[in-house]
Amino acid sequence: ADVKKIAVIAGDGIGPEVVAEAEKVLKRTEELFGYQFETEHALFGGIAIDEKGTPLPEETLKVCQSADAVLLGAVGGPKWDNNSKELRPETGLLGIRKALGLFSNIRPAFIFDCLKEASTLKPEVLEGTDLIVVRELTGGIYFGEKFRRETANGQEAVDTCAYNVTEIERIARQAFEIAQTRRKKLASVDKANVLETSRLWRETVNRIAVDYPDVELEHVLVDNCAMQLLRRPSSFDVIVTENMFGDILSDEAAMLTGSIGMLASASLGEGSFGLYEPVHGSAPDIAGQGISNPIATILSVALMFRLTFGYHEAADSIERAVKEVLDAGHRTGDIAVDKSTAIGTLAMGQLIVDAM
Amino acid sequence: ADVKKIAVIAGDGIGPEVVAEAEKVLKRTEELFGYQFETEHALFGGIAIDEKGTPLPEETLKVCQSADAVLLGAVGGPKWDNNSKELRPETGLLGIRKALGLFSNIRPAFIFDCLKEASTLKPEVLEGTDLIVVRELTGGIYFGEKFRRETANGQEAVDTCAYNVTEIERIARQAFEIAQTRRKKLASVDKANVLETSRLWRETVNRIAVDYPDVELEHVLVDNCAMQLLRRPSSFDVIVTENMFGDILSDEAAMLTGSIGMLASASLGEGSFGLYEPVHGSAPDIAGQGISNPIATILSVALMFRLTFGYHEAADSIERAVKEVLDAGHRTGDIAVDKSTAIGTLAMGQLIVDAM
Ligand SMILES: CC(C)[C@H](C(=O)O)[C@@H](O)C(=O)O
Ligand SMILES: CC(C)[C@H](C(=O)O)[C@@H](O)C(=O)O
């Protein structure tokens, strides 16, 4: 049988709780569809710092490298915020992206019908919003040379932002291909009126565009995009942008849907391997109380099924189950209007498993 | 008599129309309060490219340097978008900021009572939103070394982001001082979990904070800030950040107020000299039709009176007049609910002058 290996990284804060529910969904999929998964747990982030003295232990990297996909809960928390750079969870995150060659971060942002009211945007503005931010994830100012030096004006810090044509081409192609499966609109976001990397970005995207004549391409300046996401969110289909702009815009896009506790993300490289995780963070303030919302992590499994394994039927089953449970009125505290009727993490996970 | 010299740069698109109304307000202030202004017009941006072959002619710089303040309409337009870097309006904008030492961009974003409905955010979320973004304007990735080079992966483009302690200190002090005159809350925005410049930024802001014990300081990561602006805009008072983040966040903040056609901005250096301009752009699509909204430019004059000249009574008079005219129901097309009742640029300008 075709056994799929999944590296499971529970991580910190609410990570372990939400990942546990997602694993129940994996099991249920085996029963329902006859798939076989072999999961291997690995330490990463804050807990790895505590137990192994580094956010990304060699072992963890090996487990990921020998897997077909990675399921990640969440990492980080105040406990490690004042650590030196090498001992911070974020350093592990940047390290794993680079080590696994995950150059593309896919973040779908859409509205759950039953959560329309959860957004701070007016429902009529949100109506029909369904976009994907494709963020370059292993280049740009995140990974360029960084240093300090003394100057006549005191210490100076320097970050370097670099992009080469190969890096831009592969992310652009991926974004065009995703747009082809959707509404065929691509917004490429840059700051070409100021940055040299953005000018190379724009030139390269324009050159690649010739291969995708069915996709309508627009170039949007990053400041304008931050505005247009607020003014006309539903007009965007696929947005492609570099690492730093993508960090900011994907969070803005997720937040405006009002569904941030529900959104999944994928980080992809060449081939079918991918790392899947909820968009929300480790929420240390509510960790361990059994009240966190496992839906984004469960939907990350559905995304893994679609993008890495091509198990579309199983992905449909998960997504339908989530919709059914929400439509029946079940809510965790974060998305409940009447908090007194909220159910816990375990109950929500079980309801979804039962509805599959 | 104390004659104040004002360099007037009408610029491109709707720039000349809105600046003309602001100049009427200047005249009216002379009559009402006995102040004396000497205005000198100068070419800048697209029109300067067309007439002088450069976006920032030497002459224009001289006019600005010998003035006490600069009033700017707007620059840019599709006509010059495909020009080479030296022949683009934006290059003039970056040049004038650097040449005049305007290291700080102040952008108040607040809600006009009568325009609450214009925002895409829910009125109850917006309620009480009144914030100022203080953006560092002459450093960071905007002004760092930029170049291209050949690599094994094709051409590579590089931008350099640098900040020294002196640059961070002066903008931080200014932000703390502004916060002291308001609700005494300062959010310093950075990406200290990734960038070296952000780590130096945060250290420096923390060191300066000791001199402003009455101001409550929080550090917010830029991606989180992009979200929090949507979730809890009214909780922000003053936001201080570096050039690139400020470009993005100040546009997001302006747009969420729904009042972007109404917001003024100031760019300041050491001393009282400042450049004042509306937040909105040159709107080439509606230029020359006499339908643009002059209010943001008129309010830029009020901001100039406050920050450069200390003419608070005159500033009050302008702001009160704007409020009165809006409260009476007068609207230009951009802010009219019923577009058929909209008035033009000239009529709006005249109503405000009359109401002063
Ligand atoms: C934690 C941080 C380094 C990370 C990033 O900036 O990439 C996070 O914000 C994200 O978007 O995954
Ligand atoms: C036109 C552009 C160079 C400029 C900037 O990015 O600073 C503009 O967006 C602004 O905010 O004034």
Name the residue range of residue A43's domain: 1-100+273-356
Q: Which of B259, B286, B303 is the last residue of a domain?
A: B259
Answer left, alpha or beta for residue A219, where phi above 0 means left and psi between -120 and 50 means alpha: beta
Write the pLDDT tens digit of every residue in B307-318. 999 999 999 999
Q: Where are the alpha helices (DSSP H) in B100-148?
A: 123-126
Question: Could you tell me the distance, in angstroms and rounded to a whole number, from the CA of residue A251 to the centre of ligand 1?
Answer: 10
Q: Determine the pLDDT at residue B1.
A: 64
pLDDT in tens, B143-193: 999 999 999 999 999 999 999 999 999 999 999 999 999 999 999 999 999
CA of B245 to the centre of ligand 1 (A): 15
Interhelix angle A222-231/A243-256, rounded to 10 degrees, is: 10
- The total domain count for chain A is 2
Q: Is residue A215 part of a domain?
A: yes
One DSSP character per residue, A301-345 reads HHHHIIIII--HHHHHHHHHHHHHHHHTT--BGGG-SSGGG-B-H
A175 in any annotated domain: yes
H or E element that contains B176 = helix B165-180
Co-location of A309 and A284 in the same domain: yes
| Chain B CB contacts of A117 below 8 Å | none
Please indicate, yes or no, if residue A22 is contained in any of the structural domains. Answer: yes
Residue B194 alpha carbon, nearest atom of ligand 1: 3
Residue B192 CA to ligand 1 center (angstroms) comes to: 11
Among the partner residues A157, A194, A255, nearest to B197 by beta-carbon distance? A157
Ligand 1 neighbours, Cβ below 6 Å, are A 90, 93, 247; B 193-194, 223
DSSP state of B332: B
One domain, residues A278 and A135: no
Looking at A259, A293, A308, the residue that finishes a domain is A259
Q: What are phi and psi of B146, to 5 degrees?
A: -130, 135
- Closest ligand 2 atom to residue B137 Cα is 7
Active-site annotation holds for A354: no
In angstroms, the CA B121 to CA B256 distance is: 7
How far, CA to CA in Å, does A235 sit from each of A129, A132, A212, A228, B305?
7, 12, 20, 9, 40
Residues A110, A128: one domain?
yes
Please check whether residues A2 and A91 belong to one and the same domain.
Answer: yes
Parallel, antiparallel, or unpaired for β B185-190 and A69-74? unpaired
B130-136, strands of its sheet edge to edge: B36-41, B3-11, B69-74, B274-278, B264-268, B104-110, B130-136, B238-241, B185-190, B216-221
> Would residue B197 count as lying in a domain?
yes
Taken in order A298, A301, A307, A309, the sign of the CA dihedral is: negative
CB B141 to CB A167 under 8 A? Answer: no
Examine the domain organization and report whether B199 and B225 are in the same domain. Answer: yes
Chain B neighbors of A255, CB-CB under 8 A: 226-227, 230-231
* Residue A128 clears pLDDT 70, i.e. is over it: yes
Distance between CA atoms of residues B251 and B135, nearest Å: 11
Q: Which of B111, B145, B163, B195 to mutate to test the interface with A (most CBs of A within 10 A)?
A: B195
Average per-residue pLDDT for chain B:
96
Do the domain assignments include residue A347? yes
Q: Average the pLDDT over each of A23-32, B108-117, B263-272 and give the range with the smallest value.
A: B108-117
Query: Chain-centre distance of CA B93, in angstroms?
Result: 12
Residues A34 and A172 in one domain: no
Atom of ligand 2 nearest to the CA of B97: 7
For the stretch A144-159, pLDDT in tens is 999 999 999 999 999 9
Q: Is the pLDDT of residue A170 over 90?
A: yes
Q: Which of A111-115, A261-265, A319-323, B175-179 bottoms out in mean pLDDT, i.e. has the lowest?
A: A111-115
**Is B116 in the active site?**
no
- Helices in A53-161 by DSSP H: which ranges? 58-65, 89-99, 123-126
Sign of CA dihedral A237, B220, B207, A144: negative
Nearest CA to ligand 2 atom 12: B247
Query: Is the domain of B148 the same as that of B198?
Result: yes
pLDDT value of residue A152: 96
In this prediction the pTM is 0.96
Same domain as B292, residue B235: no
Of A89, A85, A78, which is closest to residue A43 (Cα–Cα)? A89
The answer as to whether A265 is a domain residue is: no
On whether any CB of chain A is under 8 Å from the CB of B226, the answer is yes
pLDDT band at B252 (very low <50, low <70, confident <90, very high): very high
Shared domain check, A120 and A87: no
Token pair, residue A6, equals 């999944």
Shared domain check, A147 and A244: yes
User: Shortest Cα distance from B137 to chain A (angstroms)?
Assistant: 13
Q: Among B203, B226, B259, where does a domain finish?
A: B259
pLDDT greater than 80 at residue B241: yes
- Please report which ligand is nearest the Cα atom of B85: 2
Give residue-wise pLDDT tens across range A211-249. 999 999 999 999 999 999 999 999 999 999 999 999 999
Chain A residues whose beta carbon lies within 8 Å of the beta carbon of residue B230: 120-121, 230, 252, 255-256
Q: What is the number of the ligand 2 atom nearest to the C-alpha of A194?
A: 3
Please indicate whether residue A323 is annotated as part of the active site.
no
Residue A267 forms part of a structural domain:
no
Q: Which residues of A touch B166 (CB under 8 A)?
A: 153-154
Is A274 annotated as a binding-site member?
no
Clarify whether A52 is annotated catalytic.
no
CA distance linking residue A252 with residue A254, whole number of Å:
6
From the CA of B281, how far away is ligand 2's center (Å)?
Answer: 10
Q: Write down the catalytic residue from B24, B191, B212, B311.
A: B191
**Is B264 part of a structural domain of the chain?**
no
Q: How far from B268 is each of A50, A190, B2, B168, B276, CA to CA, in Å?
A: 47, 27, 22, 15, 9
Q: Is B93 in the pocket of ligand 2 (CB under 6 A)?
A: yes
Clarify whether residues B160 and B96 are in a common domain.
no
| Cross-chain CB nearest to A196 (options B157, B200, B244) | B157
Q: Where are the alpha helices (DSSP H) in B221-309?
A: 222-231, 243-257, 295-304
Please give the Cα distance from A144 to A137 (Å, whole number).
Answer: 12
A253 and A116, same structural domain?
yes
Q: Is the separation of the CB atoms in A77 and A284 below 8 Å?
A: yes
- The CATH number of whichever domain residue A194 belongs to comes to 3.40.718.10
- The position carrying tokens 């100068």 is B42
Chain segment B263-315, per-residue pLDDT in tens: 999 999 999 999 999 999 999 999 999 999 999 999 999 999 999 999 999 99
Round to whole Å and give the CA distance between B17 and B294: 8
Q: Give the ligand at the shortest distance from the Cα of A55.
A: 1
